[in-house]
């Protein structure tokens, strides 16, 4: 992975690390349907403006089936699942559950694309799992009715991301990363609209609530997906999905800086394991090759 891709990976993790904070703020006020419709709708408008400023031609209808699949798997469905979970779970726990995406992506790629997993990548995935487990062990769990449904939704969402990334990589449809981000947002807006119409806003939003949802849409969705689809194109789905191993680290960091959350030993150890796992999975560091035994006779 080159320096530019590493920078994009870290920037994307920092942005998406904050998205769970914004969802945790917006979900109880707007409800899952309205919040996600605002998220994808504003993101689609933002990406349309980007294309206009760059003078890009937008011929999205030619690949509408492709964008519907991407919009469903990479936006509409996982966003709705996370929004449902955000009504019950903390932002930190949501970001930790999201870290299952590279594991799902590696397994799906191995089965669907018959893509072998290198020793370094396998070790990185194991370290990432260990880091996420350590973070979960040190985080307060949610009690009360329905918490297990929220956990299940939080684990189902990254499975959708794994499917979407592998589909994007193997698809014979040649689509520019900007068009993938743009087209998938409009498709997601169409798919989520019925849920938004059936679920009215629960509370009167404050200006802070509107700022949080706007940041979620423009920064954490529109701009972030431009980075994400570029990463898939440049480094492949498995390495692009490893960004989710870094998200909990930034989630803990933003929580400590802006919410005054404590940072215990489990978060420090888990963060270190996640960083090492991400480096291995992306080839930044590699395991030494096993020495071949010399035979004589």
How does residue 264 score in pLDDT terms, banded at 50, 70 and 90? confident
The packing angle between helices 119-137 and 91-98, to 10°, is 160
Judged against a pLDDT cut of 50, whether residue 296 lies above it is answered with no
How does residue 34 score in pLDDT terms, banded at 50, 70 and 90? very high
Judged against a pLDDT cut of 80, whether residue 25 lies above it is answered with yes
| Pair of tokens at residue 94 | 């949501």
122: how many CB neighbours lie within 10 A of its CB?
A: 15
Q: What is the mean pLDDT of residues 269-292?
A: 73
Judged against a pLDDT cut of 60, whether residue 152 lies above it is answered with yes
Picking from 122, 127, 124, 120, the residue whose alpha carbon sits closest to that of residue 107 is 122
How does residue 188 score in pLDDT terms, banded at 50, 70 and 90? very high
The reported pLDDT for the residue numbered 138 is 65
Q: What is the pTM of this model?
A: 0.83
| Higher-pLDDT residue of 39, 139 | 39
Nearest-angstrom CA–CA distance, 137 and 45 = 40
Judged against a pLDDT cut of 70, whether residue 183 lies above it is answered with yes
The reported pLDDT for the residue numbered 143 is 47
How does residue 295 score in pLDDT terms, banded at 50, 70 and 90? very low
How does residue 177 score in pLDDT terms, banded at 50, 70 and 90? confident
158-173 pLDDT, tens digit each = 899 889 888 877 776 6
Judged against a pLDDT cut of 80, whether residue 259 lies above it is answered with no
| Higher-pLDDT residue of 190, 21 | 190
How does residue 181 score in pLDDT terms, banded at 50, 70 and 90? confident
State CA 94 to chain mean position distance: 11
Q: Are 205 and 30 in contact (CB under 8 A)?
A: yes
The reported pLDDT for the residue numbered 118 is 76
User: What CA–CA distances, in Å, run from 104 to 42, 155, 192?
Assistant: 29, 10, 24
State the chain's mean pLDDT as an integer: 83
Q: Are 282 and 7 in contact (CB under 8 A)?
A: no
Q: Are 275 and 246 in contact (CB under 8 A)?
A: yes
Q: What is the mean pLDDT of residues 257-281?
A: 76
**Residue 272, Cβ density class (10 Å: 0-12 exposed, 13-18 middle, ≥19 buried):** middle
Nearest-angstrom CA–CA distance, 88 and 91 = 10
Q: What is the mean pLDDT of residues 253-270?
A: 75
**Residue 253, Cβ density class (10 Å: 0-12 exposed, 13-18 middle, ≥19 buried):** middle
The reported pLDDT for the residue numbered 226 is 86
CA angle 48, 235, 3 (to 5 degrees): 90
215-238 pLDDT, tens digit each = 999 999 999 988 888 888 888 876
Asked which of 71-85, 176-190, 275-289 is least confident by mean pLDDT, the reply is 275-289
Tokens 């408008």 belong to 45
291: how many CB neighbours lie within 10 A of its CB?
A: 6
Nearest-angstrom CA–CA distance, 87 and 199 = 14
User: What CA–CA distances, in Å, run from 164 to 62, 123, 293?
Assistant: 20, 24, 43
95-150 pLDDT, tens digit each = 878 877 877 777 788 888 777 777 877 887 888 788 777 866 766 554 456 677 88
The reported pLDDT for the residue numbered 297 is 44
The reported pLDDT for the residue numbered 291 is 57
User: What CA–CA distances, in Å, run from 172 to 168, 179, 198, 240?
Assistant: 9, 15, 36, 19
- Give the rounded percent of residues in the chain with a pLDDT score beyond 90: 30
């Amino acid at each position: 992975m080159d320096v530019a891709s590493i920078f994009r990976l870290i920037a994307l993790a920092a942005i998406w690390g904050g998205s769970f904070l914004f969802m945790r703020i917006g979900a109880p006020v707007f409800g899952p349907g309205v919040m996600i419709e605002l998220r994808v709708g504003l993101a689609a408008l933002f990406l349309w403006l980007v294309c206009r400023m760059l003078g890009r031609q937008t011929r999205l209808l030619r690949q509408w089936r492709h964008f519907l699949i991407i919009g469903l798997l990479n936006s509409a469905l996982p966003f709705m699942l996370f929004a449902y979970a955000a009504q019950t779970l903390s932002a930190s726990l949501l970001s930790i559950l999201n870290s299952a995406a590279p594991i799902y992506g590696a397994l799906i790629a191995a089965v669907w694309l018959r893509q072998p997993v290198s020793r370094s990548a396998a070790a990185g995935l194991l370290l990432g799992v260990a880091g996420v487990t350590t973070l979960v062990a040190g985080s307060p769990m949610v009690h009360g009715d329905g918490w297990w449904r929220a956990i299940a939704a939080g684990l189902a969402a990254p499975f959708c991301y794994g499917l979407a990334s592998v589909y994007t990589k193997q698809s014979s449809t040649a689509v520019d990363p900007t068009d993938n981000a743009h087209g998938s947002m409009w498709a997601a807006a169409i798919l989520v609209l019925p849920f938004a119409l059936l679920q009215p806003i629960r509370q009167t939003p404050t200006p802070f609530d509107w700022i949080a949802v706007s940041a979620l849409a423009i920064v954490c969705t529109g701009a972030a997906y431009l980075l994400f689809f570029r990463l898939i194109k440049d480094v492949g789905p498995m390495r692009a999905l490893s960004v989710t191993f870094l998200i909990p680290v930034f989630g803990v960091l933003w929580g400590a800086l802006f919410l005054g959350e404590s940072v215990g030993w489990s978060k420090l150890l888990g963060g270190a394991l996640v960083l090492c796992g991400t480096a291995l999975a992306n080839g930044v560091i590699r395991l030494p090759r096993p020495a071949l035994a010399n035979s004589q006779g």
